[in-house]
Structure 1
């Protein structure tokens, strides 16, 4: 059986920087309050850009990094909770813009999207249905953020990240294990209506809420959930790979809140230097956060052949998961 090896990464962040000082002009908040509670100092905003545009740039850079042509791609998987349209899907748009001739699909598990998309890529490659898979995670969260709600508007930013996976006969390389899960009982803690209902003959008794199109989150329950779910996912992924925390070179978590990253460090007795963080510069970019981190790490020369990396995500659904990859 072939293994699924990560051979290239790419990312893209918009030019516009939204700082904490700028947010002070919009809502009752301040830099000290935001940094103390979240660790975020600034985030990027895609002014006048589509989600697919961010994803396309990240995809092109990942393919260049991998040395793979568009003709070699067998499948494109795009994870996003902020698609430009319900139809066509983002993956089809990016496929067309790349000039690829392959299968394409979207995945929406919110912030866990890159974990799920990578799990699908791993499954396709291991079962022989694909040799090379392009995974793209692209988010324009600014479009669903209520900038009058200080509890959420300080958190989110826009970005895209991508990874190229290919089949390898190296038994000790690639994705060694993965674990994905969900707990729908907490879905109301993090949600957004797909299509707010305005005045129409079938729902004439419903009053339109202008905030319905924005993401809503109950921060405290989400933090409590992730404090349990994330270690559970990492434990299971490590167990399936036959590894322990001592084998970890890097943990690359979804960038949501510094408190969650502290939980990971304490649980596995890892120095904070082994947990990659760019939350301070980009905020929570949903499913794009993990591949954005991975690409930064590659560019900085932090990732080396033979290293063992644990990627873990958690988000709306509530969904969570992890995978172990050996470079």
Structure 2
């Protein structure tokens, strides 16, 4: 669809979800292993979070390589060539290059025709990026896009703080989307929210301080402090605001919770996943979780869960998915999506 068609009042294009892919670090760190570093135990971590292990990038494993591998898997799953992509949008809060990682991911995929840029919204990043990419397709400005969620929060935790270091892992996953006829639209609706007044409860803040530069002037060295989180406040935010936004979206789209095939939430804490499902009246066996194996991979959690469930056959073409991301900012968003890509395909 052309931009001229939009200006003439014709309907916006639809957005179809066509392929998915993921990539994980080779290094797996169990709760028992972690207890050799900090005063914790497998029982303590599992009972409070549901996490058993997490993946951590090791020597010689850059995040951009992981993101590119996930992207290649997604476009292969969709049956596309890399040069058919118009956009590569990478959601990350921990890029290898502070100026932006997406161009390196684009090069690693071989998507020479695509424009590439980063979007930072922490654990809400993937959904925010998906909605952003969808607008380029709806307008007719672009036809195909790759949305990647990738984070390496292992670099930014205090590994001697058992309250936070047990939560996070590294990973990357991607979804391939393309413009389609309006009646085939697979992004049925979305809602997005931010509240910077509560941002201090979950931060990766810049280190404070300054040093002399020249006579009469000082400068602020770069660098960031470890992740800071008020766990109780984050929990209260997630179990109150996330189901409220999902209910709002379901009502707005005229969707009954009983018609939702799967609930795919940001994988932060099993208690949060269970509480949100309960408040929406969605059975826990329809609330997908892989948190036990990977921990919180930030922007990667939702596409990682989608990829796993598509490839093992749980999510099939035509299934309706309610999804929500939430985290630092504070930010949170919800989307109602219908999967239209291939089903279970061996990884």
TM-score by length of 1: 0.94
Structure 2 equivalent of residue 289 of structure 1: 301
Structure 2 equivalent of residue 34 of structure 1: 45
Q: Is contact 1:197–1:203 with CA below 8 Å preserved after alignment?
A: no
C-alpha change, 1:56 and 1:196, in structure 2 (3 Å) is farther
Structure 1 equivalent of residue 25 of structure 2: 14
1:320 equivalenced with 2:317 (yes/no) = no
* Alignment match of 1:133 (pick from 142, 145, 163): 145
Structure 2 equivalent of residue 25 of structure 1: 36
Structure 2 equivalent of residue 143 of structure 1: 155
Structure 2 equivalent of residue 92 of structure 1: 103
1:47 equivalenced with 2:58 (yes/no) = yes
Instruction: Give the Å deviation of 1:54.
Output: 1.0
- Give distance in 2, aligned partners of 1:64 and 1:195: 41
- Give distance in 2, aligned partners of 1:301 and 1:200: 60
C-alpha change, 1:148 and 1:125, in structure 2 (3 Å) is same
Q: Is contact 1:178–1:240 with CA below 8 Å preserved after alignment?
A: no
Q: What is the RMSD of the two structures over their aligned residues, measured on CA atoms?
A: 1.7
- Give matches, 1:115-130, under 5 Å: 115-130=127-142
Instruction: Give the Å deviation of 1:233.
Output: 2.0
Q: What CA deviation, in whole Å up to 9, does each residue of 1:211-248 have, x standing for no partner?
A: x5211111001111111121122123223322121221
Q: Is contact 1:34–1:154 with CA below 8 Å preserved after alignment?
A: yes
Structure 2 equivalent of residue 104 of structure 1: 116
- Structure 2, gaps ≥5 residues long: 1-11, 340-347
* Alignment match of 2:243 (pick from 226, 231, 239): 231
- Give distance in 1, aligned partners of 2:275 and 2:190: 21
Q: Is contact 2:90–2:118 with CA below 8 Å preserved after alignment?
A: yes
Structure 1 equivalent of residue 193 of structure 2: 181
- Give distance in 2, aligned partners of 1:181 and 1:244: 22
Instruction: Give the Å deviation of 1:98.
Output: 2.0
- Give distance in 2, aligned partners of 1:84 and 1:194: 17
1:77 equivalenced with 2:76 (yes/no) = no
1:163 equivalenced with 2:175 (yes/no) = yes
Q: What CA deviation, in whole Å up to 9, does each residue of 1:66-96 have, x standing for no partner?
A: 1111111111100001011122x11111112
- Give distance in 1, aligned partners of 2:106 and 2:171: 19
C-alpha change, 1:294 and 1:234, in structure 2 (3 Å) is same
- Give distance in 2, aligned partners of 1:244 and 1:172: 20
- Give distance in 1, aligned partners of 2:43 and 2:258: 36
Structure 2 equivalent of residue 64 of structure 1: 76
| Farther off after superposition, 25-34 or 89-98 | 89-98
Q: Is contact 2:16–2:184 with CA below 8 Å preserved after alignment?
A: no
Q: Which has the larger radius of gyration?
A: 2
Structure 2 equivalent of residue 3 of structure 1: 14
TM-score by length of 2: 0.89
